[in-house]
Amino acid sequence: MVEKNKKLKVVFSGGGTLGSVTPLISVYDAIKEKYPNTEFFWVGTKNGPEKVLIEDKGIRFLVFFSGKLRRYVSLYNIIDLFKIIIGFFESLIFLKKEKPDLCISAGGFVSVPLHWATRFIKIPTWIHQQDVRVGLSNKLMSSFATVITTALEQNSNYFPIEKTVYLGNPVRQDILDVDKQKAIELFGISRKKPIVLVTGGGTGSENVNRLVADSVEYLKDTCDIIHLSGKDRSHELLNKIALDNDHYKTFSFLQDEMKHAYAVADLVISRGGFGTLTELSILKKPAIIIPIPGHQEENVAFLAKSGAVILVDQSTCTGQKLASIVKDILGDKESMQNMSEKLSKLIRVSKKQDILNIFEKIIIK
């Protein structure tokens, strides 16, 4: 049994996008609530969207060198290899100095040098696999991991059975604790029409932004739109559209307000990151998913096949076609209800006590 007042040190890592960040925030919240004296660190990326969220939590944010190993021949592989080596030694120095009790990651190449370094000073690690396709970073870290958890039961087969646990996906509980009326007032929405929330992820998406921009005119009599366009994207055109259309509001990025945007949304249009899909699942929101080609398509495929989400291909979709899909969904309340119910059953949300059980089991060892 771990004493509640014991001073522990935990290092999280991940970033570049919010995909590897949001489930770990839930893990952080669970540990912080039960073990308030724990000291936390976060190793992230220099320019990723995660820094604002992490520092807002009061977690010390660190940036080490890291690099991406591509599965094809590229000069950048050589350059990034040197970055990984530098990051490894930075991590080694940090770990020897701070002597953390545990390092936790949900993937991302920023985590690889750190987790490799733990092996040399015998610090336990926990990695979490979200996506349908096992990422290369988690493959590289799995052999050193003390515990591996998975969001999907099928992915347990890709890792050593003796240290793998089917956990489901952690979700921030604060997204459930929202005053809907306050959320409506926050965005200045009348509620005379359904509300569609559009998000292209933490960094945004030019493809999603283009589709939404082209669909606004077609949806003026159908719905109000809250569009999160991404802080790294161009906003000039979107801001002009917002000035000319009362039913369209655009924001580059939302922090705490994101839970309010979810609360007022009748329909969500998003990318196919597993963290976002899990949030939609627990909130029971009908969704149109426009996945990034690659692993996100695999995340969405089994959900679309079961009728839990509507899958849209960004390469063939137009603004007019997207508007038509939105109109069809909003016009069929029964279909919206069925979609949200199916999604909530297909994606398992991890329980706080299960997260704590794994944490305590590692710490006791």
Residue 348 annotated as binding?
A: no
Residue with tokens 């669970």: 30
Instruction: Specify whether the CB–CB gap between 216 and 241 falls below 8 A.
Output: yes
Strand partners, 129: 150
Residue 132, classed as helix, strand or coil, is: coil
Q: What is the distance of C-alpha 146 from the center of its chain?
A: 23
Residues belonging to the chain: 365
278-311 burial by CB neighbour count: b if 16+ within 10 A, else e? Answer: bbbbbbebbbbbbbbeebbbebbeebbeeebbbb
Residue with tokens 């710490």: 363
Residue 205, classed as helix, strand or coil, is: coil
Residue 296 annotated as binding?
A: yes
Cα distance between residue 356 and residue 361, in whole Å: 8
Q: Helix H segments across 7-146?
A: 22-34, 50-56, 75-98, 112-118, 136-142
Annotated binding site for UDP-N-acetyl-alpha-D-glucosamine: 172, 296
Annotated binding site: 172, 296
